[in-house]
Structure 1
């Protein structure tokens, strides 16, 4: 105890001396506080398929699956930024937010032997601290959204309002420690050790996942290795001043069951004026050995596939984005029901969303 007390006193003296010895010009600047976020809602209807009730039909992808007038989420991002260190709390409220943090389990508070849902941590989309070790190296610790894929949880970060199959069945978030290294203006590296995908509150399985990323001029090759393996490529190019083309391709396999999915999508976008952009998403998605349940039914080999085509417009009115969208899903199996409640392999739908960013 004497030794600990002595060390504590010496440490306190050292800290006070170090602070007093810093010239005024070199003192740490005050922390910068910022608050941002978004609010979104939409109207959605099926064309040639039931709306509402027990037979209501929706694409088997995340978000934008309500019928009629529906709400998305309110997103509040609070950040503190110092010279070297900072913290981010990203909170989500509403159906889209609840779907995004589905893996946010709580301790077994009711003693039934399983972690509890419906807890306050289910509004936490991201919660992390970071340390800029140098101009090139940043360490991040906590819960952060995935680095895989072309699309993200927030509707302000996507061109299309509905989401792809590849995004929906890949990871949303991770908890762990990651290191970002900016080699130069063109090349970057990232390495991470994390819990299983989407287990953000604590490690329920005692398994760990390794993550890695290699970046070059806006092209990223991503890897996950653990209970699941995934490799993912994301890139995009400005073909002209008004035409952009994005690309995402991924392959995933569960190392225990060998169930897998894979896919590729292109994202062409044409800017027709300062306020309007027209875009398209064309996606192929396949599953093997029963996959992840995205497509209703499988052939004799346990395989199934889907094509998804989404035509989207983005009309900007200041910070408000109006997003009309027409989507067609076609599957190799009879995944949907038509108006006559007969099984069918296609579904057409239309929505218009309003997204405000602040």
Structure 2
């Protein structure tokens, strides 16, 4: 009897354990199927202090690049990215609030002043992905969000290249290391609609290895009213490699040309920048951006024929160049990153000193503070 009782007890215990395990497994599976589990929220908040050395600090004098151009204490932006990643489909809603965000979406109407990116995507297979909507540009080394750049201030090539596109792109995985992208888009930075009934074609070929990556990018198309503005062609190379464990080198080179609709020569700009970075410790990295940027035949002119903010000096033929050297430190305190930065811009007679006399260089100091969540 004792043996039978023990056997029955073991059977009951085993069945109870099996039932409990099944219920636990079912509960866990039910938990995994909650609709909000695939949602994510991320973003950043940033601000900065900028001071001109030997030049006025009244917002009239600043490097001719985007975003960090206000004097004294200034606001960057609050960036909130809401995403949904399903098994095959998903979306991204990238919203920006503040001065940096407004500058980034300058061609948007008031209704979309907070939209940095807004797109849906479909993973057709493991090798093909379609994206439809408004997305940041695939050209260049730098991006709009300060969390994606090492330097807090931005380069001339980034500032005068495209910021964002609206259209349809297809990404292809060619192999473990090679990728490609094809896109059809509105004219550059017209993210809400197409005012000209012209389109831009984008192409990218990418290589990603164990120690770095390289991307060759192209865009071609008419950026303005047909008959008033000729087609624009841009070629851009972005690459970066870990030379040794603590030393990284990035390179960006670009060339842009816009055809003249009359008998004149094409106009545009070109440049190259090096981004060496040395990690001194787990929390601190020191980096340099050395950039040469030039325009030819009045290349930095808007589509309606008016001059832009004259970022560099140019001669009567519309030719000119600038050299900008930016030394940046990056110190991490948890999710907060502090970026002290010293920058020198040099272009013939493009700046003024404290006596309002024309000078060929501008020195400035920036302290950026970025919190990432």
TM-score by length of 1: 0.86
* Aligned-residue offset at 1:317: 0.4
Q: Using the TM superposition, give the Cα deviation of residue 300 of structure 1 relative to its aligned residue in structure 2, in angstroms.
A: 3.4
Deviation at 1:120, TM superposition (A): 2.4
Contact 1:30-1:82 within 8 A present in 2 as well:
no
Distance in 1 (alpha carbons) for counterparts of 2:125 and 2:108: 32
> What secondary structure, in the 3-state scheme, does the structure 2 residue paired with 1:309 have?
strand
**Does residue 329 of structure 1 match 2:335?**
no
| Aligned residue number for residue 341 of structure 1 | 356
Please state if 1:48 is matched with 2:51: no
* Mapped pair 1:251 → 2:266: no
User: 2: CA distance between counterparts of 1:303 and 1:266?
Assistant: 23
Q: CA RMSD in A?
A: 1.6
Of 320, 324, 339, 1:304 maps to 320
Aligned: 1:193 with 2:163: no
Partner of 2:277: 269
Instruction: Answer yes or no: is 1:61 the counterpart of 2:65.
Output: yes
The DSSP-based 3-state class of the residue aligned with 2:287 is strand
User: What secondary structure does 2:196 align onto?
Assistant: coil
- Cα distance between partner residues in 1 of 2:192 and 2:34: 32
Task: Name the structure 1 match of 2:102.
Answer: 98
Contact 1:29 1:83 in 2 (8 A): no
The aligned residue for residue 133 of structure 1 is 124
**Aligned equivalents of 1:255, 1:321: Cα separation in 2:** 43
| Counterpart among 295, 312, 332 of residue 287 in structure 1 | 295
Aligned positions, number: 318
Question: Cα offset for 1:334?
Answer: 1.2
* 1:150 is the counterpart of 2:150: no
Deviation (angstroms), 1:205: 1.0
Q: Deviations over 1:23-64 (max 9, x none)?
A: x99x988460100100000111000000016xx310000010
Aligned to 1:161: 152
Q: Deviations over 1:98-138 (max 9, x none)?
A: 00001114xxxxxxxxxxxxx12011000000000001100
Q: Is the 8 A contact 2:63 2:311 kept in 1?
A: no
Can you give the 5+ residue segments of structure 2 that lack an aligned partner in the other structure? 1-28, 223-231, 301-307
SS of 1:226 mapped into structure 2: strand
- Max Rg structure: 2
2: distance between equivalents of 1:148 and 1:220?
Answer: 9
1:78 aligns with 2:82: yes
Q: Following the alignment from structure 1 to structure 2, what is the Cα–Cα distance between the partners of residues 330 and 230?
A: 25
SS across alignment from 1:83: coil
SS at match of 2:147: helix
Measured at CA, do residues 57 and 169 of structure 1 come closer, stay the same or move farther in structure 2, by a change above 3 Å? Answer: same
Distance 1:251 1:45 in 2: 32
| Misfit runs of 4+, over 6 Å | none
Matches of 2:259 and 2:145, distance apart in 1 = 30
1:182 deviation in Å? 0.6
Q: Equivalent of 1:225, from 211, 220, 224?
A: 220
Q: What is the match of residue 194 of structure 2?
A: 203
Deviation at 1:335, TM superposition (A): 1.2
Structure 1 gap segments, 5+ residues each: 1-23, 106-118
Q: Is the 8 A contact 1:324 1:351 kept in 2?
A: yes
**TM-score scaled to structure 2, two decimals?**
0.83
Distance 1:298 1:278 in 2: 33
